Structure 1
Amino acid sequence: MELNGKVAVITGGASGIGYKIAERFVEAGGRVAIADIDEGKAEQAAKALGDQAMAVEMDVTDERSVEDGVDKVAEKWGSIDILLSNAGVQIVHRLEDFPFEEWKKLTSIHLDGAFLTTKACIKHMYKQNSGVLLYMGSVHSKEASPLKSAYVAAKHGILGLARVMAVEGAKYGVRTNVICPGFVETPLVTKQIPEQAKNLGISEQEVRDDIMLGGTVDKEFTQTSDIAELALFLAAHPTNAFTGQSIVASHGWYMN
């Protein structure tokens, strides 16, 4: 699985899953643009990855910011071969208590961000008649959990966007996939444990073992390295055989 100089734009790439994928792509011979709303973090991440990485300040909810950032990458490296739409946040509330502003914030980052980065990248991909659109979904693209109405709605929406792009992009050699992790052991996930314990009136251990890992076959978190390997496989695969498909990595929580 080699990328042979292909250029990837990775949103939310300065930390967590995004950074691990960027690291793996560089190891596989790719060039990566770390796109993040925090320019300082993006620069630190790119510096750690070496000459095959660059930092791009990008607010995925702002069309001009996205367009300018993607064009900056294409100007430097000559192409946009892979998009990994990964930027995301988590906000949990019972629906009756969910502030509308927080609903809009979450859905805008996840779903508007996927739309805007796709729109910006395909103008380059269509010209070169090739490209890979990877979207970070979730088991919650397929399942529901309490307190996560905005997140579940957004992740279900990403499935629809990816499927449409599989159809629209086919004649331009552009394929799509949705990566659907279970609970990955990142700061974003561990932050949810005390929040959910408070909202549900249970212990943090019960959140971990019953809410987060209760559906797995082995009570284990998915690791960022697992998701990075899956992203590389999809980015490097030589044909359109898997286009439009969503692939779950969840220790058996959800089985297709």
Structure 2
Amino acid sequence: MNRLDGKVCVVTGAASGIGKRIAEVYAAAGGKVAIADLKLDAAEATAQDIRDAGGDALAVAMDVTDEAQVVDGIAQVVAHYGRVDVLVSNAGIQIVNKVTDFSLADWKKMLAIHLDGAFLTTREALRDMEKRKSGGAIIYMGSVHSHLASKLKAPYVTAKHGLLGLARTVAKEAAEYGVRANVICPGFVRTPLVEKQIPEQAKELGISEEDVVKNVMLKDTVDGEFTTVDDVANVALTLAAFESNALTGQSIVVSHGWFMQ
């Protein structure tokens, strides 16, 4: 089994959904986990659950679009644990709309959370990793939409494509001090974020919720199944524990065969 014994792992958006499961899996593999989330009380609850299960976790308040909060949050982790070994840039939201109906404010909000947040957290984690020159891993939460497009998701698709470029650049820049950068690209995972989209898309597309699931979300999978949080967390563990630059600058699609590269 992959182990993270003693490695310090920062996971953003980790109070719920995919981020929470990654944090739990990291802690079970011996990692020390910083639960970074917009909602400090929810982050603290997740951290307490991990501690109750015998793990080591710290809650950190972090709006990933706020430079001062990201700088301060990563500094808190370094002050508490001494370093950062793994960053999982996972925080994200979804807003669905036609391009012609999207407000500029919603467009900017989406890009800020997905791209500005990835940049700011990467920069601060890398500054620590560069200083220590003892390796590390940066993992971005992309999507099948890092490779494909869907209607109603222009800023999301744009941002998720952008994460591929950031990861590839970081992989080249940070290789000299042993840091890997990769993107996990899940298919649809039945988190609250996706549950919310089902009725929204049904309304926008004029079809039933069942049709959204079967003929939109899971249409191109090999088995008509949702990806699970465990599927994604296990890949995140492999990427965090991998020991060489052999696996860097890559996107790994975890989607029941939806988009094969």
What range is the shorter-chain TM-score in? over 0.9
The match for 1:89 is 93
Q: Distance in 2 between matches of 1:171 and 1:242?
A: 14
Structure 2 residue ranges without an equivalent (≥5):
none
Question: CA RMSD, aligned part only?
Answer: 0.6
Give the 4+ runs in structure 1 shifted more than 4 A. none
Q: Distance in 2 between matches of 1:190 and 1:216?
A: 18
The match for 2:103 is 99
After superposition, where does 1:66-215 map in structure 2 within 5 Å? 66-129=70-133, 130-215=135-220
Structure 1 position 190, deviation (Å): 1.1
Q: Distance in 2 between matches of 1:66 and 1:5?
A: 23
Q: Distance in 2 between matches of 1:99 and 1:39?
A: 29
The match for 2:12 is 11
Q: Distance in 2 between matches of 1:72 and 1:64?
A: 12
Identical-pair percentage:
59
Structure 1 position 239, deviation (Å): 1.0
**What amino acid is the match of 2:16?**
S
Q: Distance in 2 between matches of 1:122 and 1:176?
A: 11
The match for 1:237 is 242
Structure 1 position 141, deviation (Å): 0.1
Partner of 2:111, secondary structure, is helix
Partner of 1:218, secondary structure, is coil
The match for 1:255 is 260
Q: Distance in 2 between matches of 1:237 and 1:116?
A: 24
Q: Is the 8 A contact 2:178 2:244 kept in 1?
A: no
Mapped pair 1:218 → 2:219: no
Structure 1 residue ranges without an equivalent (≥5):
none
Tell me the TM-score normalized by structure 1: 0.99
Structure 1 position 185, deviation (Å): 1.3
Structure 1 position 207, deviation (Å): 0.3
Deviation readout 1:33-54 (Å, 9 max, x if unpaired):
0000101101111011005000
State how many pairs are aligned. 256
Tell me the TM-score normalized by structure 2: 0.97
Structure 1 position 244, deviation (Å): 0.3
